[in-house]
Amino acid sequence: MTDSRRKKDHPGDRRRPVLEAGKAALAFAFVAAVVWLAFSLGAWLQERNDPAAYWASLGAQTIFTVIGTGLDPDTVGRPTEADSLRLKVRTAPPAGPLLAVTEGTEALLLNRRGRIVQRWKSDHQTAFPGSHLPDAAVTWREPVLMPDGDIIAISRRRSLLRPGDLLGGHHGLGVVRVGPQGDVRWTTRLRAHHVPVRGPDGGILVLWRRPAGAPDARYPDLHRPFFDEGLARLDPATGRVTRRASFLDLLAGSGFANLLHHPPMMRDGYHLKGEVFHANTVRPVSPRAGRNAPFADPGDLVVSFRNLSTAAVLDADTWQVTTLLRGPWKAQHDVGVRPAGTVAAFDNIAPDGASRVVVWNPGTGRIVRTFGGAVLNSPTRGARQAMPDGGTLATDARGRAVRFGPDGAERWRLVLQADGVFLNSVRRVPRRHAARFLAAPGGR
């Protein structure tokens, strides 16, 4: 006779799901700990400028390429082909020479036809003896073209992964002045980052950052680890640091120190690395702009703080913060005062999810004009430059620079025809600084 009675559950059977869940939790905790240690090690290696950070990132990119994340294996570990730049004219060609940088330690001067008429090239290990980073691991962002034809550039570690660079960042390696033939005039190992700019007095202004050595009692909401950031001036003839100040000190006593009380958290990983400011540009206020802007004077400095979606106006002499600009932008780059006294910024995260250049009137709070529409899409990086006719030149880091007229219509664009590589900068430069190169055979 068949026994149809149900067997009683063994006590071990009831504990089995609990044990399995416990094992899964332990496995998850182990993996999370490994990931946390990997990120911490990567950040530590980068702060020490250790070449292991480069090789680890390069290896990770190679693995991602092999498993099919869409990365181009031909771009792994080498600078881009600068000759992949193509000028496409819609209505009118560029009115002046352009200085362009893709990725790598090379800057290009282009004439009105988009032809390369001059190259500045410097090998990183030659410029910085003792550095173990290969030249392919280093890039420039936006060099300054000096009146004598030299350029001054900030060398920084090249971001390798596209997208989601685990070990990337804007960590600087030093500043270098390079002659037209590639000869190195001077270097300084100041940990500058992003872009240099020529100040009203002829000095070179750069942004710097370093790990904070101790908690700052003036800012109790800033918990270590975080990075102290600031501004420095370099002697253009020697590269010597002649002045240096921390933004923490410049904000203290200005009336704006509460900017760092409960600072907003950017959910993109940057705050997790302790980047409170993420300053990305400093732009001097021109004499005309200073006359027309009630919130700034000629020679004042405008610093863009990406992670605070804010810009600060610094006094020309004391560098103390005199005004905060919180405009219609998010995670912005390249904030500056236009000649009419309005404020312009490269708005990385526009309301439609794309990017734009927005011109804003702080007095009325109204948007005066926008450029870009669906043309620009640069969640990170990006730059803009006001043109004399009221238009703008916008650089989308994903591979194009677009010149817009004052009516917003596109006039021309410079396209980087290389996959998986950033177009770091395109700037119109004074013709007088480029005259010797444009006058050479084939220069025009």
272-305 confidence digits (pLDDT tens): 457 789 999 999 999 999 999 999 999 999 999 9
Average pLDDT over every residue of 210-228: 81
Task: State mean pLDDT over 105-112.
Answer: 94
Mean local confidence (pLDDT), 381-402 = 92
Share of the chain above pLDDT 90, in %: 56
Q: Which of 123, 85, 129 is nearest to 104 (CA)?
A: 123
Predicted local confidence at residue 381, as pLDDT: 86
Confidence of residue 337 (pLDDT cuts 50, 70, 90): very high
Over residues 155-164, the mean pLDDT reads 60
Q: Indicate the range of 31-40, 232-241, 284-293 predicted with least confidence.
A: 31-40
Q: Among 42-51, 250-259, 407-416, where is mean pLDDT lowest?
A: 42-51
161-166 average pLDDT score: 38
Asked if the model's pLDDT at residue 87 lies above 90, the reply is yes
Reference 75, options 134, 133, 161; nearest CA is 161
Residues 6 or more apart whose Cβ sits within 8 Å of residue 90: 409, 410, 411, 412, 413
Q: With a cut of 60, say whether residue 55 has pLDDT above it.
A: no
Strand ordering across the sheet containing 400-404 = 85-89, 410-416, 400-404, 392-396, 383-386
Query: CA nearest 135: which of 144, 143, 126?
Result: 126
CA distance 57 to 67: 15
Q: What is the three-class DSSP state of 82?
A: helix
The neighbour count for residue 100, using CB atoms within 10 Å, is 24
pLDDT for residue 222 is more than 50 = yes
Strand boundaries in 326-378, DSSP class E: 333-337, 343-347, 356-361, 366-371
Residue type, 121: K
Q: Residue 76 pLDDT > 50, yes or no? A: no
Q: In whole angstroms, how large is the CA radius of gyration of the chain? A: 25
66-75, 106-115, 138-147, 244-253: which range is least confident on average?
A: 66-75
Point out the least confidently predicted range of 198-212, 259-273, 369-383: 259-273
Q: Where are the beta strands (DSSP E) in 212-264?
A: 227-234, 241-246
A 10 A CB-CB count for 124 gives: 21
Q: Are 240 and 198 in contact (CB under 8 A)?
A: no
Phi, psi torsion values for 350, nearest 5 degrees = -75, 165
pTM: 0.81
Taking residues 71-83, report their average pLDDT.
Answer: 44
User: What is residue 169's predicted lDDT score, i.e. its pLDDT?
Assistant: 47
Q: Which amino acid is at 197?
A: V
CA distance 154 to 173: 7
Q: Order of strands across the sheet with 310-314?
A: 279-284, 301-305, 310-314, 321-325
Q: Which H/E stretch holds residue 305? A: strand 301-305
Residues 6+ apart with CB under 8 A from 34: none
184-217 per-position pLDDT tens digit: 999 999 989 999 999 999 999 999 998 887 888 8
Q: Which of 41-45, 216-220, 416-420 has the highest mean pLDDT?
A: 216-220
- Mean pLDDT, all residues of the chain: 82
Greatest CA separation found in the chain? 109
pLDDT for position 56: 56
- The winner for highest mean pLDDT among 27-41, 61-75, 269-283, 414-428 is 414-428
What is the average per-residue pLDDT within 38-48?
Answer: 52
Residue 423: CB atoms within 10 A of its CB come to 26
Task: Find, among 188, 195, 172, the residue nearest to 241 by Cα.
Answer: 188
Residue 136: its pLDDT value, please? Answer: 82
Task: Answer for the pair 417, 86: CB distance below 8 angstroms, yes or no.
Answer: yes
What is the distance between the alpha carbons of residues 395 and 167, in angstroms, rounded to a whole number?
24
